[in-house]
């Protein structure tokens, strides 16, 4: 087993404030342990899902792994090397190899830029000549199945559908040839009919490139469909972890049991009431 990235005992505490109960207009400071002593191992070529309800710390964990935030304690190892021991240049190079995509593709796409410029932009800092940049932009657009790429180059994000925009955001991430992709709720703004397309695309990219994927989702059905392993977070901590199919079929922790029980599409009896056209791929096999 080759680890793409390993986080050991990661914690992140935010300063926040909350209203004083019963006293209007008064606030008190509060510390929130968004991530508390989390150890996570992401294998090369595998997809690990992080699930949990809103506020459980999934996105914060993703940002810590992407080195967008510094942990208050704990350490990161990347391909066996301690991140804190890397030189500035090495850290910069490493950050390029860990790319993130978000729920809302507009977060990574500048609405003023054409699709060509959006996908090319990350390459500009790399001193790659114009010809190679162009080749890589074309290849990335083809990789995300926006073809022929020529049709999309001069368009702006608002001229695309939500699914196409997410594909451009993925192209912008993979144009740097990362080894780790952190996908934070990548399909939750999309219609159900488009979700599978994006998940299948990520799967094909993973199979072809051997990239490691961290899939952050509150949707157990998506985790079940798209991941090899799953980690369940609650209140900043990991409460249960294991092979996805095994864990979701036979959860041990009471919180995971609750999540599985309250996920409508995981319950065969209720799925037809909830989904007008049940999608077999999205429904967990509970048999």
- Per CB under 6 A, residues contacting ligand ATP are 14, 16, 32, 34, 52, 54-60, 218
DSSP state of 153: T
- If the CB atoms of residues 32 and 176 are measured against ligand ATP, the closer one turns out to be 32
Q: Match 């090369």 to its residue by tokens.
A: 44
- If the CB atoms of residues 67 and 144 are measured against ligand ATP, the closer one turns out to be 67
| Closest C-alpha to 109, from 159, 54, 145, 150 | 159
Centre a 10 Å sphere on the Cβ of residue 20 and count the other Cβ atoms it contains.
Answer: 11
Shortest distance, CB of residue 239 to ligand ATP, whole angstroms?
13
Shortest distance, CB of residue 221 to ligand ATP, whole angstroms?
16
DSSP state of 251: -
- If the CB atoms of residues 11 and 56 are measured against ligand ATP, the closer one turns out to be 56
Specify the 3-state DSSP secondary structure of 147.
coil
**Token duo for residue 127:** 């001193």
Positive or negative torsion for Cα 48, 51, 55, 56: negative
Kind of pairing between the strands at 81-82 and 73-78: antiparallel
Shortest distance, CB of residue 78 to ligand ATP, whole angstroms?
21
- If the CB atoms of residues 216 and 247 are measured against ligand ATP, the closer one turns out to be 216
- If the CB atoms of residues 48 and 174 are measured against ligand ATP, the closer one turns out to be 48
Shortest distance, CB of residue 219 to ligand ATP, whole angstroms?
11
Report phi then psi at 2, rounded to 5: -105, 125
Shortest distance, CB of residue 220 to ligand ATP, whole angstroms?
14
């Amino acid at each position: 087993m080759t680890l793409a990235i390993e986080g050991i005992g990661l914690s992140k505490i935010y300063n926040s404030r909350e209203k004083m109960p019963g006293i209007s207009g008064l606030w008190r400071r509060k510390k929130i342990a968004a991530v508390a002593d989390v150890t996570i191992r992401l294998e090369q070529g595998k997809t690990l899902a992080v699930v949990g309800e809103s506020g459980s710390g999934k996105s914060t964990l993703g940002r810590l792994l992407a080195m967008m935030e510094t942990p208050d304690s704990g350490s990161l190892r990347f391909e066996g090397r301690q991140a804190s021991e890397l030189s500035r240049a090495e850290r910069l190079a490493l950050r390029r190899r860990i790319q993130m995509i978000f729920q809302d593709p507009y977060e990574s796409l500048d609405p003023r830029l054409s699709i060509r410029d959006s996908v090319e932009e990350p390459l500009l800092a790399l001193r790659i000549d114009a010809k190679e940049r162009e080749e890589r932009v074309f290849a990335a657009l083809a990789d995300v199945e926006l073809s022929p790429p020529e049709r999309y180059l001069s368009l702006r994000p608002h001229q695309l559908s939500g699914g196409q925009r997410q594909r451009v955001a993925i192209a912008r991430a993979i144009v740097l040839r990362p080894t780790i992709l952190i996908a934070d709720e990548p399909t939750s703004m999309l219609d159900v009919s488009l979700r599978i397309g994006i998940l299948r695309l990520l799967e094909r990219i993973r199979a072809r490139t051997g990239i490691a994927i961290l899939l952050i989702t509150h949707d157990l059905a998506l985790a079940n469909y798209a991941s090899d392993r799953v980690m369940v977070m609650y209140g900043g901590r990991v409460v249960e972890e294991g092979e996805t199919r095994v864990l979701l079929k036979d959860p041990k922790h009471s919180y995971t049991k609750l999540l599985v029980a309250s996920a409508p599409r995981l319950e065969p009896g209720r799925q037809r009431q909830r989904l007008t056209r049940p999608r077999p791929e999205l429904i967990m096999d509970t048999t």
